[in-house]
Amino acid sequence: MEDASFNLTRREFARGSAAAILGSTGVAGKLAGLDSDAKVSGEVTVEVSANATPFNRMIFGQFLEHFHRQVYGGVFEPGSPLADKNGFRTDVIDALRELRVPIVRWPGGCFASAYHWRDGVGHDREPSFDKAWGVEDPNTFGTDEFVQWCRLVGCEPYICTNAGTGTQEEMSDWVEYCNLKDKGRNARLRKKNGSEEPFNVRYWSIGNENYLGGEIGAKTVDEWAPLVRESAKMMRAVDSNLKILAAATVTGNWTPPMLKSAGRYLDYISIHYYWDALWQHGTHPSNYLKCMVAGPVPEQHIVQAVDLLNQNGFGDKIKIAFDEWNLRGWHHPGFPGGGANQLGMIQERDENDLNETYTMADAIFTASFLNGCLRQAKYVHMACMAPVVNARGPLFVHPKGVVRRTTFHVMKMYSDLLLPNVLSSQVSSDLLHVDKDTVPVIDAVVTRSDDQKRLAVALINRHPQTAARLKLTLGNTVIPTGARVTILSGDSSDAYNDVALPDRVVPETRALMLSDGQIELPPHSVAIAQFGS
């Protein structure tokens, strides 16, 4: 019998979850007990010699979907003076190399639930109607192009299969096309198409948000578990070395039957979330203070997922992939498909590309999300920001170049400056009062080098107007010398980068002056302090 709690449209899902967290975007919020001359304070306490948890760099992953200008006019633009002979935008590739992206999930997203991979391979491809987004896809960017692009970027390709209108056999045939050397008609098809050697795609997801009623090919609880089980079995029959994920929720009764039936075939559960529901109203993003309230919530979802796995006996066997996430939901009125096309709503998706949306609020939320993943590093082994270019992505691509948004700089700081092991720490902080909600002004994560000689501390000051004074206590360890700090802030909490001002918000690195172990953070800032030579 169908579970009514999951027979939801995407809009209803947002209204019942993300909107409940952020509330009305029209309320400015208020700061209780804090004025512009004060300094908020907090303390981070950590035992440097304690055991640490290595984190998986795949939490810095990204996501690419055939939605609006992500693929065509984003990463792929044949004929552009900035594209190579194969149509790949080289400036985008260079920027993503700079970001050191470890993995990219493709082709969706909602697009995947009606995508048939054979439409996008071979020399004689025909355009097809995209049932999710209501446009025609030329199919000129398919599996071969995606894998080639990933190799140029230097990231692992991660393919999301069609568990909506597709079949178990279609999924396993796709694995055959990508990974078998010379056995089977699909491997021979790949060779005929010009790729002699296998692509060796390791990461595969079964489905995308099939629990939502608005998803093409949505499934009931009773349908989902056997579909995942049989799909995973067939995919592993082709290649036993795959890492397989399956769409899951962190609450309700959707996931437990799947784990019971198919858990032994899975490596990850795939969870998704957006916290500012803009599906229908893209021009009214939540303000800075409301976004700060949402900052700690992703970690709460992770803890729910951990509890769910433990309750069903898979706590030490299946990892968590937060493989589609962003602060702000994509604007797509008329979803799914033809409604948007018939009502002339396609152009409204341009609102996703308004750079003024992506301010220090987005940067600080991104840091908050990553801090949550790092604290839960034992369980979270992948996260994919959605998407990587245009729409809500960290990189805005236009005909003459790229703009690195505030979120790009946060991702780069975390990717480049943090050390590989996470130490358990205690953070105390003054509170930021926003209407009836409160959120700690300061957040922090402490990382350590393998040789235990260096520390890197990720720090957040959520207060929009007031500097924060943070005391760092390292137990009996003297704070190492040679300290420096890299700070991302801006001239206001609403500062953003755009084509006209691409470097309005950029990180600055300087020597870190400590007084009695205290660090001062500017308002609305993300910082990484590095200690030791």
Q: What does the alpha-carbon distance between residue 440 and residue 252 come to, in Å, rounded to a whole number?
A: 29
At 481 the pLDDT is 67
First-to-last alpha carbon distance for the chain, in angstroms, is: 61
Cα torsion 146, 405, 16, 460: sign: positive
Mean pLDDT value across residues 181-201: 97
CATH 3.30.70.20, applies to 4-29+66-339+372-408: no
**454-502: pLDDT as tens digits:** 999 999 999 999 999 999 998 877 777 679 999 999 999 999 999 999 9
Range in 227-236, 301-310, 387-396, 505-514 the model is least confident about: 505-514
Q: 3-state DSSP call for residue 257?
A: helix
β-pairing, 319-328 with 380-385?
parallel
**245-295: pLDDT as tens digits:** 999 999 989 999 999 999 999 999 999 999 999 988 777 899 999 999 999
Q: Would you state the structure tokens that stand for residue 239, as one six-digit string?
A: 């290649």
Q: 3-state DSSP call for residue 220?
A: coil
As a residue count, the chain comes to 533
Q: In what order do the strands lie in the sheet with 425-429?
A: 425-429, 40-46, 468-473, 518-521
Domain 40-50+423-531 in the same topology as domain 4-29+66-339+372-408: no
Domain boundaries, the chain: 4-29+66-339+372-408, 40-50+423-531
Q: 3-state DSSP call for residue 69?
A: coil
Contacts of 371 (CB under 8 A, 6+ apart): 299, 443, 444, 445, 458, 460
**AA identity, residue 229:** R
Domain 40-50+423-531 superfamily per CATH: Golgi alpha-mannosidase II (2.60.40.1180)
pTM of the model: 0.93
Give the distance, in angstroms, between the CA of residue 343 and the centroid of all CA atoms in the same chain.
30
**24-83: pLDDT as tens digits:** 222 233 333 344 455 899 999 999 989 999 999 999 999 999 999 999 999 999 999 999
Report which of 386, 335, 397 is spatially closest to residue 65, judged by C-alpha positions: 386
Q: What does the alpha-carbon distance between residue 389 and residue 96 come to, in Å, rounded to a whole number?
A: 10
Q: 3-state DSSP call for residue 399?
A: coil
Contacts of 6 (CB under 8 A, 6+ apart): 211, 212, 213, 220, 221, 249, 252, 254
473: β partners: 45
The answer, yes or no, to whether residue 337 has pLDDT greater than 50, is: yes
Give the distance, in angstroms, between the CA of residue 50 and the centroid of all CA atoms in the same chain.
30
